[in-house]
Amino acid sequence: MTALQVAIPDYMQDPELEMFADSVAKFFQREAPAKRVEEWREAGQVERDIWTKAGEAGLMGVSVPAEYGGAGGDFRHDIVIFQQLVRNEVDGFGLQLHNGIVVPYIVAHGTEEQKHRWLPRLCSGERITAIAMSEPGAGSDLAAIRTTAVKDNGGYRINGSKTFISNGQLADFVVVVARTDPSLGNKGISLLVVETDAVEGFRRGKKLDKIGHDAQDTSELYFDDVWVPADNLLGGEEGRGFYQLMKELPKERLMMAINGVETMDMAIAATVEYTRSRKAFGQPIYDFQNTQFKLAECRAKAVVARRFVEDCVRRLLDGTLDGTTSAIAKMWVTDTECRIVDECLQLHGGYGYVNEYPIARMYRNSRVQRIYGGSNEIMKVIIARSL
């Protein structure tokens, strides 16, 4: 598919970043070619080996300071990886969650001892991460979680079940959201690290049979009397979990918007190519004015979305991105992404409904963008609060 031309924003205009983008693209083309990604989709998960290779190539923890084993980059390096994952159609490989969500919790909230203990292996590819917040009875309403972590024998005993956990089958480093004091509401929530091969009582449940992201091993996880040492309490202080989660949310939501604008352009590019080659009534589908108008509308929305997301990235980089603005980006961009992908699928006719065509996969994969990371209804609750 021929990519659409997009202007490189000022903050990405750096020869070092351009070289990095080139090497990341080559890494995915070499290690995750279309045939291999298809095998992962059929297997329902990626092979562990891609994680190890990504670690060896310096892609895991690219923005982690060098003193903790990272590459010493910043969020712009992570953006390069997120973009290349979408542009090379490597769906299902949970590197975005690892680099953009879980590792930053350790960097931002871990004690010095925890950072030195954990981060080198999170950067080298020896450890694959997951964040276990959602439970069968608590998704949007995080305050309703029932998993407990009770003080016991110099550590904590964790009991509970989690669901929808990305990287669930492969992760061996799980950040668990649990109640350390049920009487304190949000202030009684803490984050505890479970290294799954070092504990008893941890079980992986079934890999969920989803409509999209076929190669992503989203799963149920069970914690039955799992004991972890007190040193595994993130930040070393009880009751900080809710704050730690909320603090990182603006960036996490912006990441979804970054994915959204990449997918919009991929969908438009695929549709321009398809409609130029497919004929009806003796002419390419592209030549119908309806096709051109629909694609023009999609392109206009995609450009507007991209400019807004770029503005949010600038604000994130200078430390001024607020929760409301990132909620606006997450909600509007992912809603628009789904509308654009739907229009593009329509222009493919029946072939758009066939999985072999990338647009069908984009349609299935993009749907969850409006649900996870805080549903778009929750984004509206946040935006409305600011009015």
Ligand X SMILES: Cc1cc2nc3c(=O)[nH]c(=O)nc-3n(C[C@H](O)[C@H](O)[C@H](O)COP(=O)(O)OP(=O)(O)OC[C@H]3O[C@@H](n4cnc5c(N)ncnc54)[C@H](O)[C@@H]3O)c2cc1C
Look up residue 310 and give its two tokens.
């770029």
Look up residue 56 and give its two tokens.
């060896």
Q: Is 88 in the site for ligand X (CB under 6 A)?
A: no
Q: Which residue has the tokens 């991105």?
A: 321
For 323, half-sphere exposure in the C-beta direction (CA atoms, 13 angstrom radius) is 16
Q: Is 133 in the site for ligand X (CB under 6 A)?
A: yes
- Applying CB under 6 A, which part among 12-20, 22-30, 125-133, 323-331 lies near ligand X? 125-133
- Applying CB under 6 A, which part among 112-120, 127-135, 264-272, 301-309 lies near ligand X? 127-135
Active site includes 67?
no
Q: Is 241 in the site for ligand X (CB under 6 A)?
A: no
For 60, 157, 208, 238, the CA distances from 126, given in Å and listed in that order, are 10, 25, 25, 28
DSSP 8-state symbol, 178: E
CB 381, min distance to ligand X, A = 5
Q: Is 136 strand, coil or helix?
A: coil
Closer residue to ligand X, CB minimum distance, 218 or 336:
218
CB 21, min distance to ligand X, A = 26
Q: Candidates 132, 175, 215, 316: give the one binding ligand X (CB under 6 A).
A: 132
Of these residues, 135, 220, 252, 337, which one is catalytic? 252
- Applying CB under 6 A, which part among 50-58, 247-255, 317-325, 370-378 lies near ligand X? 370-378
- Cα first-last separation, the chain: 43
CB-neighbour burial class of residue 154 (10 A; exposed 0-12, middle 13-18, buried 19+)? exposed
Q: Is 196 in the site for ligand X (CB under 6 A)?
A: no
| 3 CB neighbour count, 10 Å cutoff | 9
Q: Is 139 in the site for ligand X (CB under 6 A)?
A: yes
Residues near ligand X (CB under 6 A) are 130-134, 139-140, 164-166, 210, 213, 218, 368, 371-372, 375, 377-378, 381
Give catalytic residues, as residue numbers. Answer: 252
